[in-house]
Amino acid sequence: MSLRASAVELSALRTEEIERMYALYAASYCDTAREQFGKDLDDKTHCIVLRGPDDVIQGFSTLKHYTTRWNGSAIRVIFSGDTIVDPAHWGSQQLAFAWIRHAGEIWREAPDLPLFWFLIVKGHRTYRYLRAFARDYAPRAEVQTDDDARALMDHLATERYGHAYDCETGLLAFDEPQGRLVPALAEIPAAHRTLPEVDYFLKRNPRYTRGDELVCLCELKASNLRPLARRLFEAG
């Protein structure tokens, strides 16, 4: 099936498209509620939408662009919200390609202001995108997160989630589980367990099945991206 992906402002999504997005979300996560999904969506600014040839949404990734202050200077942040792809289309990379192109467009709007990708991860598939995109990111296996990166991660996570974030573990843990992966998606194939980044993710977030999320950070700039991601980032 031919798929295409593009970035849109949240305000451009039609009601029926949002309902389709929620249907995909509810098929992937436990603890779902349409009202909460809507509130989370209202907090975002953009969405990368994956569509089939019939224009039906087959996947999406929500984002929030914002500017904040850090160490006395302005920085820009892309916060990743929910990312869902219908399992029938897991082989497609169009959503990921559109995401990194969109990030490049944001960078070019103000190239002198640092741009960071801030994401919280409850599944190994999402965590693996960090290595696929970037040379340096945190946290990662066999590399000690430097003090500046750790402090910025702590700041962004505490600013957004307050007491739910634990600076010692780098994890978000909610009193009531939120958005646990359904068992079929939480299951990790044996072949994936042999991957170093998956092994590291499981050690850092051993309770991912109950909805705990690992806070991650990556600076988005051409010199920090792997060759394919860099080409997409620079091409916009």
Domain tally, the chain: 1
Alpha-helical (H) ranges within the chain are 15-28, 34-42, 94-109, 124-133, 147-161, 183-186, 190-193, 196-204, 227-235
Q: List the one residue out of 137, 91, 165, 158 whose CA is nearest residue 229.
A: 137
- CATH number where 83 lies: 3.40.630.30
Is the confidence at residue 22, as pLDDT, over 90?
A: yes
CB atoms within 10 A of CB 139: 20
Q: What is the pLDDT of residue 236?
A: 64
What's the pLDDT band for 127 if we cut at 50, 70, 90? very high
Question: Angle at Cα 111 formed by Cα 110 and Cα 116, nearest 5°?
Answer: 90
Is the confidence at residue 164, as pLDDT, over 90?
A: yes
Which tokens belong to 35?
């009202």
187-221: pLDDT as tens digits:
888 888 889 999 999 999 999 998 899 999 999 99
81-125: pLDDT as tens digits:
989 999 889 889 999 999 999 999 999 999 999 999 999 999 888
45-81: pLDDT as tens digits:
999 999 999 999 999 999 999 999 999 999 999 999 9
How much is the pTM?
0.94
For residue 30, the one-letter residue type is: C
Q: What is the pLDDT of residue 91?
A: 84
Count the helix, strand and coil residues of the chain and give each as a percent rounded to the nearest 5: 45, 25, 30
- Print the domain residue range for 81: 4-235
Q: Report yes or no: 181 and 28 within 8 Å, Cβ to Cβ.
A: yes
Q: List the one residue out of 184, 186, 164 whose CA is nearest residue 176.
A: 164
